[in-house]
A and B are shown apart, each in its own frame.
Chain A
Amino acid sequence: MRARNTIDQLATDVEPLKSAPPEDVQAAQTERLLKAWKTPTGWRYWSAVNNSEVGLWYTAATFFFLLFGGVLALLMRIQLARPRNDFLSAEVYNQAFTVHGSVMMFLFAIPVFEALAVMFLPQMLGARDLPFPRLSAFGFWAFLLGGIFLAGSIFFNAAPQGGWFMYPPLTSSYQKGIGPDIWLLGFSFIEIAAIAAAVEMIVGSLKCRPPGMRINLIPLYVWYVLVASIMILFAFPPLIAGSMLLEVERAFGWPFFNPAGGGDPLLWQHLFWLFGHPEVYIIFLPSVALIAMIVPTFARRAIVGYTWIVLAAIGTGFLSFGLWVHHMFTTGLPGISLGLFSAASEAVAIPTGVQIFCFLATIAAGRVVRSVAMLFSMGALVIFVLGGLTGVMVAIAPFDFQAHDTFFVVGHFHYVLIGGALFPIFAACYYFFPLVNGKQLSEKLGRVGFWIAFIGFNVAFLPMHVTGLRGMPRRVFTYEAGIGFDALNLTTSIGAFVLAIGIGVIFWDLLRPKGKQPYSERNPWNAGTLEWTQEMPGKPWGIRSIPEIDSRYPLWDQPDFIRDVDEGRFYLPDAEEGLRETIVTSPVDATPEQIQRLPGPSFITLIAALATGGFFVFGTFHWWWPALGSLVLATGVIIYWLWTGTGLIPEKHEKDAGLGLTLPLYSSGPSSVSWWAVVITMLADFTAFMCVIFGYFFFWTIHDDFPPANINGPGVMWPTIAAITLLLAWASTLLARRWNRMDWPTGFYAGIVAAVVLALAGTAFLLAGPWFTRLDPTSHVYSATVWILVIWTAFHIVIGVVMHGYCAARRIARRMTARYDSEIVNVAVYWHFVALTVVITVAVIAGFPLLTRG
């Protein structure tokens, strides 16, 4: 039963109950809700999956890594404080700057966005939790394991030394230790966690909004998070693909980046920066989003230019993918290519500027109340604008030729990142802290911390621009006296320590015991957005009843709003069955579609992260058997997780959600959250595949003969047979879905068996091509690329076969029926992508050589 999207339902407004339920009813409801959402106690606390717990752990872990990266920075500044210093050896210095950059980017800036979003997104959306709480928890544990692995390596003098962007050949043939492997595998693991978080955010912001929160009413933070999460889907896969290629080169000698075998180190730079530049905006957008929430609250008015800010978020999201080559201006690419990327780099300044003008206009049009959160926001804008201006300078190729690889660039991006991310996050700490434990931070300590940090930051980084313009290169562990660097470096080092003291004050404010301090009043800043309905201290349920939204600032515009939420006058005021539930709505108009049952606490997420992590950690040390064992274990654990926790058939078809609304308890296909999650995950996966395809054509452009004349493979016959067989496997999957829906079990099982047999045969045919034509992947990059494409495709088919088996088992166990069929529906979606992958792989490896040789 789909909810009806009739004209009436779209156009009419639902009002809360006219009178509150009797008090004893309210008390009973509250008790049932509290029981369903109870946070586990004792050691079982760590099995919690609720967004408030996971978000808090996540944020705390990222702040720990921030301090860790900060200490490394201070060590480097001691080393550089005077010429010819011997505080750090060159080798340790190399590790320090590599780990500093990597930690700040991968273990602080990106995950802190995910952490804050996990913590606050449900509150802003009036949802009980995000749609996949266990996925968030899994992402957190994966992040923590990968982070400790990478950060810890520096204590064993085993950390990577190639800079945070890992350029080969410096990180391939010149570094034999395990440092680069730790980086490549550790971060691949963390990137998978980031993609998991992105799936959660996208589905959360499109499908878990409260009824009535149409697309023109959603909080700006949600817009930014949506855009940044979609960017993750397209930005992280290039790095995952690149890391895979570089690791295969390091481990097995396939020469993707080695010119001796026809490879090219520039391919790494393309793939890295195809990730690396959008990543800057993935960091910046969710941080500036925090400012977009803070400014209207303290300006006491609605944001000016809401649509313009949406333009800025979406526009930046797109344009940021056209900037990656501006990190490669000095690699000798054709001038016309540089021109295109320079143009896009200038264009991105337009949407970036638009949102800042909107904030300034809101401040100018409002009556500003002073606060530490506002202070940090304004400081952030000042610093960020300065960084943006030097950004416009280095976007001009001839200027970049001069400034490239000097401290000018270091100064530039610290202005961008500290102004664009760190200061807004500190602003958010002061603003949102009452939502975390019901207490306020100290305005006094905050002001002191701000000014020390702000002054220290500028003392440290402003002179750096001059140091760079005078010619001091980055990543060099010392310098000679008397060539104009001494005083500047000393100033920077002093500033760095002042900045550290400021940050220390802020951290003290965050961590100091607050036991005696009274709880904050509710909505202490008189904000207008939904997250401030929370009680002080908050309850684990997210929100007492899920409201109907009529405004961008419901707390300002909807009369008696908090009372109606508290008294359960809105939707889902109860947990009759003792289960965790939230409402799923449509993406544009937020029309209620379904009541989604959410899973409760479980250690399975931690176990799954440990098992998956084992594969990456053992792989780093090239212990292949334990790595393989971990992979098998991880597969088993994840199947158990899915089997026991997902696609559960509800005890009844539908349920009363309150206010006269009856909603189904189960859905499959495009109205379900799981279908969206599969589509989104596969988009990311497909992007990684397309990056390898890009590699194939990249090699074609740099070689005069590609495929090389002396290599005959993989031929046309085997790939073509494989494609036909695999497309039949795909068709069988679709038939199985159809026959399952028609409740014809024989047909369903026959379809599954046929699909499995065809898929396995097709995989064998696909591998037969390069095998029988004796392509040696270590001899030339052409053979290596063909093999990697074939193996990628085969791996996906094998996963698809496991999914077939899973669907059959579900049906046998009566956990999937004709009506409750989301398993086979989602597996069919997966197979759409597999079919596309097969077609493209075969067209490239078998078809393209025909074109070039024909």
Chain B
Amino acid sequence: MRETVNKQETLWLLAFSPAIWAIHFLLSYATASVWCAKISGRDNPIDGALLAILVYTVLALAGIFVVGWLGYRRHRIGNGNLPHDDDTPEDRTRFLGFATLLLSGLSAVATTFSAFVLFFFRRC
């Protein structure tokens, strides 16, 4: 077990899931804006944009799930229990994994919230 956790960890994994939320958010916003301004006009249906947002959402949730799974595996390394506050490389990795898992959960919820526009809007 020691070999798997003693390698150098980085902080990047923490940022992955929220970054996926951010990309999903920006892409959805940009798609909707450009669609309304350039393609459909204000009063026509925007099915194309909604389809695109649906595709983004599926991809984003899949990505967040993968990151969350990676976090969960780190969280469960060995037999450490919360609060992961030992001065050991194992607990450092477990902590980073657990934080990644939690951030993935939050990102999944926030992404789902964004996707609710699919249910509420048919026009700009």
Contacts and interface: CB of A to CB of B under 8 A. Distances in A.
A308 B19 CA distance: 18
A318 B21 contact: yes
Nearest to B97: A307
B83 A302 contact: yes
B33 A347 contact: no
Interface in B84-124: 84-85, 87-89, 91-92, 94-96, 98-99, 102-103, 106-107, 109-110, 113-114, 116-117, 120-121, 123-124
A314 interface: yes
Given A216-B92, A302-B83, A311-B103, A334 B113 contact: no
Contact of B37 (A321, A340, A350, A702): A702
B106 A215 contact: no
Interface residues of A, number: 46
B68 interface: no
Interface stretch (A7-15, A59-67, A480-488): A7-15
A722 to B, nearest CB: 28
A340 B87 contact: no
B69 to A, nearest CB: 17
B99 A311 contact: yes
Interface stretch (A548-556, A656-664, A769-777, A842-850): A548-556
B25 A551 contact: no
B85 to A, nearest CB: 5
Contacts of A321: 22
A254 to B, nearest CB: 23
A315 B113 contact: no
B46 to A, nearest CB: 7
Interface residues of B, number: 52
B64 interface: no
Given A318-B18, A336-B36, A350-B106, A587 B83 contact: no
A337 interface: yes
A551 B117 CA distance: 46
B121 A335 contact: yes
B95 A215 contact: yes
Given A344-B114, A347-B109, A212 B87 contact: yes
Contacts of B15: 314
A344 B25 contact: yes
Contacts of A317: 18
A589 interface: yes
B84 to A, nearest CB: 6
A337 B10 CA distance: 35
Nearest to B32: A336
A215 B11 contact: yes
A307 B82 contact: yes
A27 interface: no
Nearest to B119: A339
B36 A322 contact: no
B102 A336 contact: no
B18 A217 contact: no
B83 A306 contact: yes
B85 A340 contact: no
B113 A346 contact: yes
B79 interface: no
Given A216-B84, A322-B21, 8 more contacts: A7-B6, A307-B95, A308-B102, A334-B33, A334-B124, A340-B32, A351-B106, A701-B34
Ranked 9 nearest A-B pairs via Cβ: A216-B95, A318-B18, A334-B124, A339-B117, A343-B113, A347-B110, A311-B102, A550-B87, A701-B37
30 contacts: A7-B2, A10-B6, A10-B89, A11-B88, A214-B91, A215-B11, A215-B92, A216-B96, A308-B102, A314-B18, A314-B99, A314-B103, A315-B103, A315-B107, A318-B21, A318-B107, A319-B18, A322-B22, A322-B110, A334-B33, A335-B123, A336-B121, A337-B36, A339-B117, A340-B117, A344-B110, A350-B106, A588-B10, A589-B9, A701-B37
Interface of A: 5, 7, 10-11, 13, 212, 214-217, 302, 305-308, 310-311, 314-315, 317-319, 321-322, 334-337, 339-341, 343-344, 346-347, 350-351, 549-552, 587-589, 701-702
